[in-house]
Amino acid sequence: DVKVTQSSRYLVKRTGEKVFLECVQDMDHENMFWYRQDPGLGLRLIYFSYDVKMKEKGDIPEGYSVSREKKERFSLILESASTNQTSMYLCASSLAGGVETQYFGPGTRLLVL
């Protein structure tokens, strides 16, 4: 069975802290994604990785960076958390090659105080 796991379901951090969100998939997928979900805005793509060490900026990359050292793991880093980064963060993975299903993790709800 397909599985995408995220390191935390809930996180509370202070403004200025460095925050790491980790995502692991067990499906040998080439693609991995980080999205941010806010009410009324749907899912907005932060970063996309199509291979190990390869990444592409999404629609809202400012304030975020990513790391993909192994195929199964994709990390999202908030270098200096700010209150406007309070949100739900969703990780997904998919096969490469066009019209493929994206498989999502359960999400991490981040609160920045």
Partner 1 sequence: TQLLEQSPQFLSIQEGENLTVYCNSSSVFSSLQWYRQEPGEGPVLLVTVVTGGEVKKLKRLTFQFGDARKDSSLHITAAQPGDTGLYLCAGGAYNTDKLIFGTGTRLQVFP
Buried b (16+ CB within 10 A) or exposed e, 55-85: beebeebeebebbbeeebebbbebeebeeeb
Q: Which listed range, 11-19, 64-72, 75-83, 86-94, lies at the site for partner 1 (CB under 8 A)?
A: 86-94
DSSP 43-78: EEEEEEEEETTEEEE-S--TTEEEEEEETTEEEEEE
Tokens 């995220």 found at: 6
Which residues in the 4-33 window bind partner 1 by CB under 8 A?
4, 31, 33
Residue (60 or 77) nearer to partner 1, CB: 60
User: Closest CB to partner 1 among 47 and 75?
Assistant: 47
d(CA 27, CA 88): 23
**Residue 94 CB, nearest distance to partner 1 (Å)?**
6
Show the binding pattern over residues 31-70: x = contacts partner 1 (CB under 8 A), - = does not: x-x-x----xxxxxx--x-x-------xx-----------
Binding interface with partner 1 (CB under 8 A): 4, 31, 33, 35, 40-45, 48, 50, 58-59, 90, 92, 94, 96-107
